Amino acid sequence: MAPGGYLERILRARVYDVAQESPLEDAPRLSARLGNRVLIKREDLQPVFSFKLRGAYNKISSLSAAEKARGVIAASAGNHAQGVALAAQRLGIRACIVMPTTTPRIKVDAVRALGAEIELIGDSYDEAYAHAKTLEESDGLTFVHPYDDPDVIAGQGTIAMEIMRQHRGSLDAIFVPVGGGGLIAGIGAYIKHLYPEIKVIGVEPDDAACLRAALDAGERVRLTQVGLFADGVAVRQVGEEPFRIARRCVDDVIVVDTDAICAAIKDIFDDTRSIAEPSGALAVAGLKAYVEREGLSGKTLVAILSGANMNFDRLRHVVERAELGEQREALFAVTIPERPGAFREFCQLLGRVNITEFNYRFGRADEAQIFVGVGLSHGRKQRDEVLERLHAAGLPVIDLSMDEMAKLHVRYMVGGRAPTADERLLRFEFPERPGALMQFLTHIGGRWNISLFHYRNHGAAFGRVLAALQVPEPEYDEFDRFLTELGYPCIEETRNAAYQLFLR
């Protein structure tokens, strides 16, 4: 089907039995700051706090009477599950949802409250998906795909139809969060058929950029691993049908990091007093990055706020990272003399800036390594000025503001170093569930001594661990094989500057 062939499907889509026409709202504070008019499409105000019920209902309502009688099945860890459950409830049919065991209880309870049957299987979406496909065959259920289905794509495309009905003036670009691609395919197919001059721009997190990778390669590629902060778009491979449409209808894909997403959550809160989930704020983060990259001014831009199913305990992580994302805080590692009055002299060098964090532990008699956070009222320019003053004073300094290990772990660990030999440092992710930490330690076993360990729960489906193990060089090959067999995503940080300065 040509992308233009979706127009009739979108116009005929049955979504308003469950969905509402969500408002298109001005974001006055963000608009003033960016010098462009920013409009936010509030899909977080849907009954399940996400756009996903549009595609789910359109698909399920199109089934034959026989298919409805047998029921539907889906695999999902969140928003799609709620959309399918609500659609099935309204149509009075059976719904079975397979969810990973790592799914937060709040989402499981929300799906169950809508009357769906739930099976908790595996640690990941892939495992849940495989089990759902097995039940599809054995129970004769109809599988409702979260994005790779024409009826689902058409349902999501009704968002574009609403935007163009709600906004009568000129419109320059629409920013769309991308996971499997169903949302951007629906929006792109509608917009490019009727309003080809409007840019359709996808936004992905830098650790799950499957559409960007596919467009660069000219074919769908499967990412070896994906990050899970923006769990609503944590997809390894863009859908086949969404990719076919995206190649014709998507003008650009912007990739943003975790800090930018957290800053966008704060931006949305400042303008709407609502709290977006990370994937829900993705489009705003991309819009900001695109404005900066292109030097835009005076344009009218729309961002899709796609969902607000945020776990409350994740807010602490968002708050920590939002200031860095807005470049209102910088993190530095600075070496100062180890003598009385040195800290006071250091503060005088900083000038009239707010010190947000200061970590120090005596290590050597001649010099001190300090980990310092500095509040910035004038963004990057002020950060550069601080760096220039420190360099001019002859103080060795490293900017750690973009160092993931420093932001996730080291800032909470500064307090002393131990003389350890043969140490290799790694960052791990493992499924977050009761007993997961013990299982992780059991896997590591007693072959190599653990000489450093730091774990923080960020309210996500996966836990983050920083661990050092003492591995003699002759055992490196055996250790690398062990890491491969372990199967947990990991990044080696042995040469990281923050580790060398504060922990080694």
Catalytic residues: 52, 306
**Contact (Cβ atoms closer than 8 angstroms) between residue 436 and residue 369:** no
Report the SS3 class of residue 6: helix
Kindly tell me the burial class for residue 49, based on how many C-beta atoms sit within 10 Å of its own C-beta (0-12, 13-18, 19 or more): buried
- Residues 6+ positions from 410 with CB-CB distance below 8 Å: 371, 400, 403, 498, 499, 502, 503
Instruction: Read off the tokens for 101.
Output: 């065991």
Instruction: Read off the tokens for 313.
Output: 């305990």
Going by the DSSP 8-state scheme, the letter that residue 3 receives in this structure is: G
**Contact (Cβ atoms closer than 8 angstroms) between residue 408 and residue 456:** yes
Instruction: Read off the tokens for 368.
Output: 């001190």
Helix or strand run (H / E) with residue 287 = helix 282-294
**Rounded Cα–Cα distance for residues 73 and 94 (Å):** 8
Angle, vertex CA 338, rays to CA 374 and CA 409, nearest 5: 45
Going by the DSSP 8-state scheme, the letter that residue 285 receives in this structure is: H
Going by the DSSP 8-state scheme, the letter that residue 5 receives in this structure is: G
Report the SS3 class of residue 112: helix
**Rounded Cα–Cα distance for residues 134 and 7 (Å):** 34
Say how far residue 374 (Cα) sits from the centre of its chain.
26
